[in-house]
Amino acid sequence: MVITEEFKFNFEIAYLVYSRVYDAWGSLSDSARSRSRRQIEASVREGGFNGNTTGLISEKAFETILKQKKGLPISKDERLALEHPITHKNIAMYCVNSPTKLTFEQFFNVWFENLVTTYTTNEENQGLRKFQSNYVFGVDCWKKMYEDAGIVLMQRPKLNTKAAKRQYGII
pLDDT band at 1 (very low <50, low <70, confident <90, very high): low
Q: Name the average pLDDT for the chain.
A: 91
pLDDT tens-place string over residues 41-92: 999 988 888 888 899 999 999 999 999 999 999 999 999 999 988 889 989 9
Residues facing residue 118 across a β-bridge: 83
pLDDT tens-place string over residues 93-130: 999 999 999 999 999 989 988 888 999 999 999 999 88
C-alpha to C-alpha distance for 53 and 65, rounded to whole angstroms: 18
- Could you please report the per-residue DSSP string of 73-133? ---GGGSEEEE-SS-HHHHHHHHHTSSSPPPHHHHHHHHHHH-EEEEEEHHHHHHHGGGTT
pLDDT tens-place string over residues 8-49: 898 999 999 999 999 999 999 999 999 999 999 999 988 888
Q: What local confidence, expressed as pLDDT, does residue 145 receive?
A: 87
Tally the C-alpha atoms within 13 A of residue 18's C-alpha that lie toward its C-beta. Answer: 31
Instruction: Please state the φ and ψ torsions of residue 52, each to the nearest 5 degrees.
Output: -85, 130
pLDDT band at 142 (very low <50, low <70, confident <90, very high): confident
